[in-house]
Structure 1
């Protein structure tokens, strides 16, 4: 098919461009991604892309938004209760990370201010306020939860789920003593357990009535 002339939209819109960019990064990786390669994939002139999305930074943001929209479209309605809502977000976020491992780093390294991201956080905050949790705990919850989620998922995406760490017991006796308990590294079971640990910490702070750390 002949390439479109410069500036011709070719039926493009922001969503179609972002989804094509996600598919390209899924296939070839983020390091090889560029607007010219995307234009070749869409068989358009690069200016057709810039007509809808102003620059590569805006395109990366559009890609982040596209995978979050996909996540929320598959998620359905959140359950009742703030902890259940947090687990619901966490599990769907993990699924997104494994579905789009090459795109996922964008969610970690770029500010997520798209409506779909803010809506998910607003649901969590609304559930926490409905439950009567202290404002300090509510305010800290998004950073606490996503600090864990982003760090954990980046760590395990390229690992071997279900593989226990191998350490020299003579050099690292403490690590060696707990290694058998880490056999489920990277698995859904480990993920759920660690999410519960994060939520238990928030719940413990809420128990003080002020959200201040327990002493």
Structure 2
């Protein structure tokens, strides 16, 4: 693509730059991503991008915001009244987050690697913790839950999306003589990466939070 002259913004703004950056990472991966490559993709001088985004770190934050904005939980998605309301919100949030991770497996490592304090991230957390407080969950449990929930989600989804991107074996072949207990459990691990596996593990996390409350 022909590059525009230095200083020409070509109608760019932070949002359009971030959307283009997401597309570039989706296609080529984080390892090949950079401001110059993004400028080439947009057909502009790199300085045109820096007019709107102050450096690569800020650009990566904007990329995170774009994909996190896809994690939307509409009120009509399910019932929220009663003491189990916060768990319903947590489940829908977790599934929306999983769906986003699988749409953007090459972007997803950024979410686990960077502190997420943008509006899209905080809106999701605010809704969850407000529902927990309304249900009378102890304050310390409420305060701990975002780290517990997203610690699980990020670790689980990093492993699954990495296998998706790199084609790694889901469950390695295990030497039954050296690791007999693990080898016997291999059939229970056969649904690695499936929604059923995700729901089982999410159930365990939410059960622990509920028992702590």
Q: Is the pair's TM-score, using the shorter chain for normalization, greater than 0.5?
A: yes
**Partner-residue secondary structure (3-state), 2:152:** helix
**Match among 194, 198, 201 for residue 205 of structure 2:** 198
C-alpha displacement of 1:76: 2.9
1:150 aligns with 2:148: no
Structure 2, unpaired ranges of 5+:
none
Residue 187 of structure 2 is matched in structure 1 by: 180
- Give structure 1 regions of 4+ aligned residues with deviation exceeding 6 angstroms: none
| In 2: Cα distance, 1:50 partner to 1:18 partner | 12
Deviations 1:110-143 (A, max 9, x none): 1111111000000110111111100011000000
Contact 1:90/1:149, CA 8 A, preserved across alignment: yes
Residue 171 of structure 1 is matched in structure 2 by: 178
Structure 1, unpaired ranges of 5+:
207-215
**Match among 109, 113, 122 for residue 113 of structure 2:** 109
| In 2: Cα distance, 1:40 partner to 1:148 partner | 37
Equivalent residues in 2 for 1:1-215, closer than 5 Å? 2-72=2-72, 75-77=73-75, 79=78, 80=80, 81-159=85-163, 164-206=171-213
| In 2: Cα distance, 1:6 partner to 1:163 partner | 48
Taking only aligned residues, the RMSD between alpha carbons, in angstroms, comes to 1.7
Residue 209 of structure 1 is matched in structure 2 by: none
**Partner-residue secondary structure (3-state), 1:71:** coil
Contact 1:161/1:187, CA 8 A, preserved across alignment: no
| In 1: Cα distance, 2:50 partner to 2:2 partner | 19
| In 1: Cα distance, 2:146 partner to 2:192 partner | 24
**Partner-residue secondary structure (3-state), 1:111:** coil
**Partner-residue secondary structure (3-state), 1:70:** coil
Cα distance change, pair 164–102 in 1 and its aligned pair in 2 (3 A): closer
TM-score, length of structure 1 as denominator length: 0.90
Contact 1:184/1:190, CA 8 A, preserved across alignment: yes
C-alpha displacement of 1:170: 1.2
| In 2: Cα distance, 1:35 partner to 1:162 partner | 33
Contact 1:162/1:186, CA 8 A, preserved across alignment: no
| In 2: Cα distance, 1:130 partner to 1:7 partner | 52
| In 2: Cα distance, 1:49 partner to 1:129 partner | 42
